[in-house]
Structures are given as structure tokens and as C-alpha cells.
């Protein structure tokens, strides 16, 4: 029984858990996911300091035209002295500690800039241009939850808190195996009947893009011995992806050998197009994804089923691509029965997303994928979609949002 698209994805995700943590140098943590919540070890700022280059003084002394004696100078990194006496001011730089007695800072451009004496242009309120101790983050507050994606801002915070290493979810090592007697490595001499193995490279690139570590196993031939040898090795990784050899062809042995090696099959067909012959199984906790051989199908099924699983292993909480709505620019027809993933070109008109087929939707046509920046997800039971209709889409690179057409 083929699985529905939704069931298949839910079933996969239900069997995937985030990997355990490892401690890595701070810079290597960018793009990774924090394993344990992080509490601030001290206040930030750690001490009250000036937000401006200017003069620290008592707000009570600040009046337009007031002339104050300048009794000292505190650069950033300098000590908080001398104290500010009544009727006096201390020159202070941005980031320098506020000296005792000072309760406000007047920026230099609101004064005559004097070195021995300073004349003020205006008045001031206590606290002006002072960054209070702990105003940003206070000691012990839970600033980063477990599962936080570490971006430069989080790295900044961790560095401010003195961390040089951080515990993040381990990256899954993902074994990738292409299968087929017709396949040869790229760069080798070609005979008329051979097909260059592109799936290994495409899938490895997709694995790496997600942030996991691809391990290429090469090509297994369509026989038990070759598959057994390569698949056994693949099952030592954190996840295994195979391509081809899972449809109805009489040499589609992948499933058979996987079962022989102890992989428990959960399903082997999904009601989607492309990608119907997609299988999923488990070797203990190791997920095994058997993707269709057609290069377009293997990439689209990776994106739909494997990518979310790997993101979950990496500790991400948001693992599915956001579902957006776009207006079809031309009619589309499909047969009822399966969810179709239509490779589309998504654009933007007056702020609204539009989608149009990116070309020939035959699964043999990779160039359509080259022109696509998203897929439209067309529901199983529907057949005809009119121009102007709204459809669900996923964008491949949301950050490269389509420009206004
Ligand atoms: N009787 C049936 N025939 C087919 C069915 C079916 O349900 N019943 N499904 C079709 C669909 S849809 C697809 S997709 C393919 C998937 O079959 P397999 O996953 O078993 O893959 P193969 O038949 O071995 O290969 C399909 C196609 O892709 C090329 N290929 C395979 N591996 C690679 C690779 N690593 N790099 C580049 N290209 C690769 C292969 O040479 C074939 O041209 O089955 C249909 N048939
Ligand atoms: O399911 Mo196949 O993957 O349509 O090309």
C-alpha cells in the first residue's frame, strides 16, 4: 500500500531523534543548534558605562551655559576615577565605566569640548547616555533555549559571556550510495550505454547544504554481493541514502538486501509524483532512505523527506520548509491520485508571489530543476488548476526571495 505524502513524512519524522551533543570551538558552532539552554554567567553590560564620547557629571549641575571644571579623563578600558564632584565633570569615552558621583553623560557635541573647563549647551536627566549594568541581560537569565540555531548574534552573546567552546548537536554522518550496473563515476571514460552517476554528488551536495556530513560510498552494482558490501558499510553511518533500485524492475534489489541486513521496512511507495518508488526503513535507530534513481526524483524526494529528517537530527525545531501561497500564472493539469511536485519559477508582482511551471515536468528533465526556484505542491485529488488560482509552494532558497517581476 503506498503511503500518502503526509503520512510518509510524519512517519519518517516520528522515527527520527536529534543526535547527542558535542563540544566544539565557538566559531565552529555557527549554523549549528545549541544542545542545552544557556544562562548568562554575569550581567551584560558588566558595569555601568558611557554610551557616548563626552562628559560624565551630575545631572543637577547641567544647565544651558553652565561652566564645569574638568577633573579627569576616562578612556574605554580606563578605571572609573576620579569621582565626579559637585560642579565638576570628567571627560569620558564610549564604553568607559561611569565614575562614582556621575549620573549622566553629556555628548561632546552638546558642549564646547573644553579640556580644563567645559561649557554646557543644555540640561540633562539622570541616566542619559548611560548603559546600566545588566540592562541588556541579567545574571542567570536563560538567554538561549536548547534548540537555538546559533547565528552570529548568538555567537556574539556566547563570546560576551566568555565562552570559547559550546555544546551543539552532533552533525549526522550520512552515507550515500548509488546503485546500478549502468553507472560510472564522473570523469571516467564513457561508453554509449553508460550513465554518469550524478545522484551521489547531488545528494552529497544537498546533505552538505543542510549542514550534515556526506560520506560517499560510490556505486553498488545490481547484485547481492556488491549491494551487501556497500550497504553494510552504509549502515555504520548515522543515516543512509541510496538511489535507484527500488522500483518494479527485476534487478531492483536494494530493498531485498536491506531487509537481509536487518533493515525494518516502514514503507516503499508514496503517492507522489515524482518519487513514487521512495522507501524508508530503520536499522535500529539508523534511518535508511531509498530514493528513486531519476536524478530529478532523487533530489525532490531528498528535499521533501530526507532534508527535514536530517534537520531534526541536527537539533533544528523548524524542519519543514515554510508553506507559502502563490498565484498560478498559467493553467496546470495533472491526473488525480497523487500529490504532484511541480517545479516552478516563483516571482513577485506587487508584493504577491506568482508561480509558473519551470519547464517540461518529465522526471527525466533535470534542466527544469535548474530553472526552478521552488515547487508547487498540488493536492492528490485535484486535476485542473486555472490561471489565477492560488497554490501552495515551497521556495528552495527563501532568503533569495524572488525579485519583483
Ligand atoms: N514498472 C515500473 N517501472 C517504473 C516505475 C514503476 O513504478 N513501475 N517507476 C518509474 C519511476 S517513477 C522511477 S522514478 C524509476 C525509479 O526507479 P529506480 O529508483 O529503481 O531507479 P532505476 O530504474 O535504476 O533508474 C531510473 C533512472 O535513473 C537513472 N539513474 C539511476 N541512478 C542514477 C545515478 N546515481 N545518477 C544518475 N542517474 C541515475 C537510471 O539510469 C535510470 O535512467 O522507475 C520507473 N520505472
Ligand atoms: O516517481 Mo518517478 O520518481 O516519477 O520519476
Q: Which band of pLDDT confidence, cut at 50, 70 and 90, is reported for residue 403?
A: confident
CATH number, domain with residue 347: 2.40.340.10
Give the C-alpha separation, 30 to 11, whole Å: 30
Peptide bond before residue 100 is cis, with ω within 30 degrees of 0: no
CATH number, domain with residue 94: 2.170.190.11
Please classify residue 364 by burial: count the beta carbons closer than 10 Å to its beta carbon, then call 0-12 exposed, 13-18 middle and 19+ buried.
Answer: exposed
Q: Which band of pLDDT confidence, cut at 50, 70 and 90, is reported for residue 44?
A: very high
H or E stretch including 8?
A: helix 5-14
Q: Reply yes or no on whether the pLDDT at 404 is more than 90.
A: no
Share of the chain above pLDDT 90, in %: 94
Which atom of ligand 2 is the closest one to the Cα of 272? 1
Same-domain check for residues 202 and 163: no
Peptide bond before residue 202 is cis, with ω within 30 degrees of 0: no
Tell the residue nearest (CA) to atom 3 of ligand 2. Answer: 275
Q: Reply yes or no on whether the pLDDT at 250 is more than 70.
A: no
Q: Which band of pLDDT confidence, cut at 50, 70 and 90, is reported for residue 160?
A: very high
The alpha carbon of 389 and the centre of ligand 2 are apart by a number of angstroms equal to: 26
Task: Give me 14's grid cell.
Answer: 516520528
Reference 149, options 279, 317, 351, 290; nearest CA is: 317
**Count of domains in the chain?**
4
Same-domain check for residues 165 and 175: no
Same-domain check for residues 198 and 258: yes
User: Rounded mean pLDDT of the chain?
Assistant: 96
Structural domain boundaries enclosing 36: 24-43+147-169
H or E stretch including 342?
A: strand 339-349
Kindly list the protein residues whose Cβ atom lies closer than 6 A to any atom of ligand 1.
178, 180, 182-183, 195, 197-200, 243-249, 252, 274, 276-277, 292-295, 297, 363
CATH number, domain with residue 186: 3.40.980.10
Q: Which ligand is nearest to the CA of 2?
A: 1
Please classify residue 153 by burial: count the beta carbons closer than 10 Å to its beta carbon, then call 0-12 exposed, 13-18 middle and 19+ buried.
Answer: exposed
Distance of CA 248 to the CA centre of its chain: 36
Which atom of ligand 1 is the closest one to the Cα of 246? 20
Look at residue 136 and tell me if it is in a domain. no
Q: Which band of pLDDT confidence, cut at 50, 70 and 90, is reported for residue 248?
A: low
Which ipTM did the prediction report? Answer: 0.94
Helix (H, G, I), strand (E, B) or coil at 320: coil
Q: Is 273 in the pocket of ligand 2 (CB under 6 A)?
A: yes
What values do phi and psi take at 134, rounded to 5? Answer: 75, 10
Look at residue 137 and tell me if it is in a domain. no
Same-domain check for residues 228 and 262: yes
247 with 292: CB under 8 angstroms?
yes
Give the C-alpha separation, 42 to 137, whole Å: 8
Q: What is the mean pLDDT of residues 363-384?
A: 96
What values do phi and psi take at 174, rounded to 5? Answer: -115, 110
Q: Reply yes or no on whether the pLDDT at 190 is more than 60.
A: yes
Helix (H, G, I), strand (E, B) or coil at 115: coil
Look at residue 33 and tell me if it is in a domain. yes
Give the C-alpha separation, 197 to 298, whole Å: 12
Which atom of ligand 2 is the closest one to the Cα of 276? 1
Give the C-alpha separation, 245 to 253, whole Å: 6
Q: What is the mean pLDDT of residues 332-355?
A: 96
Amino acid at each position: 500500500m503506498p503511503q500518502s505524502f503526509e503520512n510518509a513524512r510524519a512517519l519518517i519524522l516520528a522515527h527520527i531523534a536529534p543526535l547527542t551533543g558535542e563540544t566544539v570551538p565557538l566559531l565552529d558552532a555557527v549554523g549549528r543548534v545549541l544542545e542545552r539552554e544557556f544562562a548568562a554567567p554575569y550581567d551584560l553590560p558588566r558595569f555601568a558605562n558611557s554610551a557616548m564620547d563626552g562628559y560624565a557629571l551630575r545631572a543637577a549641575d547641567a544647565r544651558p551655559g553652565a561652566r564645569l571644571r574638568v577633573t579627569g579623563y576616562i578612556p574605554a578600558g580606563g578605571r572609573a576615577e576620579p569621582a565626579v564632584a559637585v560642579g565638576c565633570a570628567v571627560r569620558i569615552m564610549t564604553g568607559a565605566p561611569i565614575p562614582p558621583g556621575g549620573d549622566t553623560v553629556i555628548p561632546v557635541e552638546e558642549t564646547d569640548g573644553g579640556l580644563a573647563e567645559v561649557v554646557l549647551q543644555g540640561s540633562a536627566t539622570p541616566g542619559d547616555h548611560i548603559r546600566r549594568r545588566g540592562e541588556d541581560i541579567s545574571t542567570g537569565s536563560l538567554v538561549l533555549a536548547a534548540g537555538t540555531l546559533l547565528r552570529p548574534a548568538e555567537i556574539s552573546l556566547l563570546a560576551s559571556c566568555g565562552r570559547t567552546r559550546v555544546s551543539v548537536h552532533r552533525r549526522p554522518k550520512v552515507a550515500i550510495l548509488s546503485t546500478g550496473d549502468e553507472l560510472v563515476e564522473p570523469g571516467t571514460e564513457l561508453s554509449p550505454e553508460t550513465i554518469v552517476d550524478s545522484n551521489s554528488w547531488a545528494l552529497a551536495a544537498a546533505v552538505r547544504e543542510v549542514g550534515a556530513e556526506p560520506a560517499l560510498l560510490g556505486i553498488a552494482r545490481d547484485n547481492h554481493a556488491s549491494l551487501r558490501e556497500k550497504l553494510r558499510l552504509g549502515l555504520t553511518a548515522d543515516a543512509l541514502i541510496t538511489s535507484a533500485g527500488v522500483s518494479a524492475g527485476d534487478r531492483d534489489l536494494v530493498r531485498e538486501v536491506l531487509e537481509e541486513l536487518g533493515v525494518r521496512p516502514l514503507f516503499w511507495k508514496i503517492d507522489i509524483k515524482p518519487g513514487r518508488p521512495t522507501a524508508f526503513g530503520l536499522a535500529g535507530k539508523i534511518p535508511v532512505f531509498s530514493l528513486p534513481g531519476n536524478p530529478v526524483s532523487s533530489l525532490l524526494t531528498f528535499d521533501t523527506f530526507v532534508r527535514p529528517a536530517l534537520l531534526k537530527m541536527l537539533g533544528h525545531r523548524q524542519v519543514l520548509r515554510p508553506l507559502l501561497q502563490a498565484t498560478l500564472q498559467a493553467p496546470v493539469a495533472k491526473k488525480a491520485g497523487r500529490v504532484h511536485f511541480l517545479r516552478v519559477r516563483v516571482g513577485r508582482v506587487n508584493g504577491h508571489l506568482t508561480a509558473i511551471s519551470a519547464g517540461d515536468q518529465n522526471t527525466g528533465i533535470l534542466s527544469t530543476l535548474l530553472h526552478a526556484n521552488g515547487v508547487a505542491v498540488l493536492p492528490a485529488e485535484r486535476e485542473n488548476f486555472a490561471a489565477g488560482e492560488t497554490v501552495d509552494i515551497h521556495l528552495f532558497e527563501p532568503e533569495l526571495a524572488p525579485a519583483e517581476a
